[in-house]
Structure 1
Amino acid sequence: MKKEILTVKHLQKTFDNHGKKFAAVKDVSLKIHQGEIVALIGPNGAGKTTTVSMVGGFLNPSSGQVKINGHDIWKSKHFDHSGIGVVFGGELGFYGRASAYDNLVFFANLNKIKWRQQRSEIQRVLKLVDLQNVANKQVWTFSRGMYQRLHIARALLGSPSLLLLDEPTNGLDVEIAKEIHGVLQKLVKNTGVAILLTSHIMSEVEALSDKIILIGDGKVKETGTVSEIIAKSSVHHIDRPATLEESYLAFAPELRREQ
């Protein structure tokens, strides 16, 4: 039995907008084990980003529990980020005139990694994303795929047990997206890191996910593997199996937020 990395129980978040309350997340519970990729999918406004923000420590929950490696991250006054790596993505977030190595030195200092350990740690994460051969190149020369791999390397500093990926290949062409998929699959296999993924690209979810969680109206609606979600959708074709995208569209009406 693989170790349980993330445990979320009955997570809720209510916002107060000038006296009018809005429940963005009503009831979300999920588990992710070591070496597992779990996709959280649903329509815009379903509560995905709010859920990930609470898991990542960027937003206080109204109620519920988030545990990383059995530790309740919201129980203490000071949130402990050490077990979580967050991949923001995009072409921002790095100093373009600095090398990949020097950029990671900056983030290693922010992560309070000891100076004596920084060289080996930076070399480790660059190797994990296949950027070790361009460590001394200025980041502005990087392709979009290399930028994204550098974001993943930054998130891996300090060996977190959980990675949060929000739309990891958004805006990337098919070839680069496939490259990032390969990096993530290799990463999970070689390190055992757990990944919570959000994406609107169903082919990406289908390619990467061990488990899928469908969220709608701030609540978990369905959970299962790709094949289980397809089976639950009751979408059938005479000549071929249903795709995840077709199955997701079948669930879409019940995922929309209640007015």
Structure 2
Amino acid sequence: MENVLEVQHLSKTFVTHKDSFHAVTDVSFGIRPGEIVSLLGPNGAGKTTIVSMVGGYLLPTSGTVLINGIDRYKTREKPKVGVVLGGDLGFYGRASAQANLLFFADLARIPRREQRQEVQRVLQVVDLANVAGKKVQFFSKGMRQRLHIARALLGNPPLLLLDEPTSGLDVEIANELHQTIRQLADAGVAVLLTSHTMSEIEMLADRVLLFGAGKIFTTGTVTEIVAQSKVHHIDRAATLEESYLALAPMLRRP
């Protein structure tokens, strides 16, 4: 099975008049259809830089980003990628959910005759079809986060980038979003997830990229990462959080 996302020797260096900073150095990985891969590492490790380059918001210094075989930066054809940065911004509060999504469907160059059907489809995916006519300013934070996912799904992108998708949400709403994300993966969408919530990664990630100082330190399933940490308990298995804390000193920049 070919990878939806193929990152090859990706690097990013920020240069100022005084110095240079290597945010990401020679990173390579792939994500298959239906696979959820999580970037895990401390603040400043380079995770957001990776997401920004894959999403097309930041030009790499070197390396290649392929999405379904299309080079993100070297071809005129722009591959479809859904990006969820979350937060309270990004929508027109006085407009309805449907009106907002119709606007973004137009920006995404979805043919006019298909837009209403496509908006209805993505609202159903995130369970917001019953409030399609409600103004976004009256949405709860959880509803807005689901609307962000709906916006990202316009046009059926094969790759979804999720940056802290449940940050600030209560447990019940976060669990609903987890179910939505898993359903999308089960339908074949490839997902790149960044999160500081260890339970979220344990629940969702098929594979973890442990990231530090701009490089991949190690990769594996949650069980494999736990085993590599060498954290043991007599009466139970170590958690991902305990294992991460044991490995964290090796992930920080010198």
Q: TM-score, normalised by structure 1?
A: 0.95
Aligned to 1:44: 43
Query: 1:57·1:79 contact (CA, 8 Å) conserved in 2?
Result: no
Q: 2:143 aligns with which of 132, 143, 146?
A: 146
Q: Deviations over 1:21-54 (max 9, x none)?
A: 1101012111100011100010011110111111
Q: 2:89 aligns with which of 87, 92, 98?
A: 92
Rounded Cα–Cα distance in structure 1 between residues aligned with 2:141 and 2:127? 14
Q: Is 1:53 the equivalent of 2:52? A: yes
What is the DSSP-based 3-state SS (H/G/I as helix, E as strand, rest coil) of the residue aligned with 1:196? Answer: strand
Query: 1:101·1:135 contact (CA, 8 Å) conserved in 2?
Result: yes
Q: Deviations over 1:131-179 (max 9, x none)?
A: 1111111111211111111000000001100011111111111221111
Unaligned runs of 5+ in 2: none
Q: Deviations over 1:106-146 (max 9, x none)?
A: 10011011110001111111111111111111111211111
Q: Deviations over 1:189-221 (max 9, x none)?
A: 2x3111100011111111110000001010100
Identity %: 64
Aligned to 2:34: 35
Amino acid at match of 1:153: A
Give the ranges of 4+ consecutive aligned residues of structure 1 lying more than 2 Å apart after TM superposition. none
Aligned to 1:253: 249
Aligned to 2:195: 199
Query: 1:125·1:154 contact (CA, 8 Å) conserved in 2?
Result: yes
Deviation for aligned residue 1:79: 6.8
Q: 1:213 aligns with which of 184, 209, 216?
A: 209
Unaligned runs of 5+ in 1: none
Q: TM-score, normalised by structure 2?
A: 0.97
CA-based RMSD of the aligned residues comes to: 1.1
Aligned to 2:132: 135
Deviation for aligned residue 1:70: 1.1
What is the DSSP-based 3-state SS (H/G/I as helix, E as strand, rest coil) of the residue aligned with 1:133? Answer: helix
When the two structures are aligned, how many residues end up with a matched partner?
A: 254
Query: 2:70·2:77 contact (CA, 8 Å) conserved in 1?
Result: no
